[in-house]
Structure 1
């Protein structure tokens, strides 16, 4: 896909950004275990209500996904990320406070999830747009690989820690770990030494023309468009999968909160493996072949998850979730690096926002689909259905010639672009 990166010195600012992102991701992984259990156990919510909570946290991409890209281009990234971290900490801290006062309701959890989701939209777009301003183009694949490894490591430890905290402190109080992670992330970001120049504003200032420009660029691009569709289909049914997996393990398989945390940590291991081997595989075999194989093999292995049973039957869960997450990590890593290398610098935030609006905007829909199917069919049957539908995610590239796809990618990355400015 691109030439091998030699050397791994990415600078102290990158290291601080990496640490902030990893710590925040670890706290978020705790919440992925704790928040559904707050709803299921503390509030005695049904599967559909869990889906509504998940949809609230993810629905921000539908509400703000496109416009956020324009706003991020008009602002300095680092201060915006700090504000988002602190706002997420406050919103999430309201849940254990209300629980201690015996005032917690499903409605409050939904509102807190929505606030956290909105802040995460701006944080994510700003973060992806900020990386190229502190990392040289020739080191972007290495930098993105390290970022994804750190997120995967956090995703491995976070759920296990979350399960243990839920077991010892209760679901609501365990959310304080995520609150702390956002605060630490904000402090680390404040210590990033490089100060951004004011954003360069050219062309029309109106929101709609700028949004349309980003949309049009992505839709016309022969690499961005199919990868965006792959991500959208994967995320649609992946959100349904994620909504169902905790109720499935808790009610159908009958495992404890600690065991749920450990089992979900397997997903982090898969992400860690995918992020670790993705760059070298793309270097040796070719990015197109790796993309096609990962896009197909991941959903196929995911079919094993709903066949899981207690005891040794959990091996199917481990293998299925591990394979699914390896595939997702590899596809995500390669797609993000291509986007950062080839997108015009002045459009990167909007292009990122467009891709995320489409591919992440479907997440609340998927969460509601998962919650509704789980309520109608039961978690196991519903999980089987969405795991099967996830195979559709490979269609946009599965029938393309790997050679033709590689040629498109080589054309796009034949010459590394100039370093991205900090505006």
Structure 2
């Protein structure tokens, strides 16, 4: 671990470099939630496309994760990570500025937008791998859970307030110009990251030589490790189930429960509140019970939360059950995420951080690509509730499976 990871105060709040890093992440989180809605409105309203158009731009956004994730992980491990974060944030900001300009001049089409999002996705996969890999260089092992929890808390607040902010910005500025909000957020994030000081090994010369060998080394590290292998396999299965939930819940809420767009927005905001509460509790839970047990309990909690969603019915109390389910879902995920990320970061050697992060993210995104359309087809064929109960069974199997492996005893102390 780099020397700078042990420099600074004994408390997270005393570490100025992490504060700049956290502030940059918080600003870009809010901008991302604005663009998430703005792009959807842009496709449907401005470009007059239907569901197929939305599917095209969504697929374009995730395609680089699937195609280049492993190679990107190898390259991230060869270079200094902070300059990579600065460059990719500034590049994403500049790229997004072009969207409203093209919309105003009549040059924006679905194909052009998809092309932009492929480039945006490539920059994002690099940024994501570098972000998770830089954190262990900023804080010592004992503070990793708290650091990840702080990042989760910011994301949870953005999740709660971001959609409402996005709706107002889109209504006020129209969708193309609302994308500028995210562009500015990335530019600000990149500039703030310039304030982060961290000692990093010098960059190696970028080359494709040895990429296959180093990629295999990263794969062996994850899938042959005593605790990381069951964690990785369980996480992939969890993402597959959760991708199905994400596809089924909106039409289930709108068509079966007749919740309405406003009601669904409130319920999703409750999920953000739950995520914030879970992230606040995550460090204490991990310190007392260990990361492995907290993650397993979080997966079991996900099963309970989705069961509440499946049990929801019409207006009144049924809507309340749905909202409580969303709250519980956020709580389960918020408490687990900081602990699982901190443990993986703490046990992985610095030279393998980029590869391990990129491998996990790329495979998890592949699960989304498979699970989302599969969930939609099944829901149309056999019903929303049946599919939701199927995912409940899946989450239970993931939690029970992990509980039988060495991962149940995983603690940050293992790597301290």
Q: What is the TM-score normalised by the length of structure 1? A: 0.84
Aligned to 1:71: 75
* Structure 1: unaligned runs, 5 residues or longer: 417-423
How far does residue 225 in structure 1 lie from its aligned partner after superposition? 1.7
CA RMSD of aligned residues (A): 3.1
**SS of the residue 2:260 aligns to:** coil
Contact (CA 8 Å) 2:244, 2:372: kept in 1 or not?
yes
Deviations, residues 313-351 of structure 1 (Å, cap 9, x unaligned): 543442222222222233322211111111122212212
Shift of 1:127: 0.8
1:294-305 correspondence runs (5 A)? 294-305=298-309
Correspondence for 2:96? 92
Shift of 1:31: 2.1
Q: What is residue 331 of structure 1 aligned with on the other side?
A: 336
Report deviation, 1:176.
Answer: 1.9
- 2:12 equivalent in structure 1: 8
Contact 2:144 2:342 in 1 (8 A): yes
- Inter-partner Cα distance in structure 1 for 2:46 and 2:315: 24
- The aligned residue for residue 60 of structure 1 is 64
1:352-399 deviation per Cα after TM superposition (whole angstroms, max 9, x unaligned): 22222222332333344456567x569xx4586257336414424414
Which residue is equivalent to 1:388? 390
Q: Does 1:30 align with 2:37?
A: no
In structure 1, C-alpha distance between the alignment counterparts of 2:125 and 2:356, rounded to whole Å: 14
Q: 1:235 to 1:221 in 2, by over 3 A?
A: same
Q: Larger relative CO (CA 8 A, sep 6+): 1 or 2? A: 1
What is the CA–CA distance in structure 2 between the aligned matches of 1:57 and 1:225, rounded to whole Å?
A: 28
Q: Which residue of 1 aligns with 2:297?
A: 293
Query: In the comparison of the two structures, how many residue pairs are matched?
Result: 404
Does residue 346 of structure 2 align to residue 344 of structure 1? Answer: no
Inter-partner Cα distance in structure 2 for 1:41 and 1:251: 22
Where in structure 2 are there 5+ consecutive unaligned residues? 1-8
1:303 Cα deviation after fit: 4.0
In 2, are the aligned partners of 1:144 and 1:333 still within 8 Å (CA)? yes
Residue range with higher mean Cα deviation, 93-102 or 150-159:
93-102
Task: Calculate the TM-score normalised by the size of structure 2.
Answer: 0.85
Find the aligned partners of 1:373 and 1:81 in 2 and give their Cα distance.
Answer: 40
- SS, match of residue 288 in structure 1: helix
Contact 1:62 1:362 in 2 (8 A): no
Residue 278 of structure 1 deviates from its aligned partner by 1.5
1:91-132: per-residue Cα shift (whole Å, max 9, x none)?
333333333334443323322322222111110110111111
Inter-CA distance 384–267: structure 2 relative to 1 (3 Å threshold): farther
Counterpart selection for 2:237 from 233, 236, 249? 233
1:318 alignment partner in structure 2 = 323
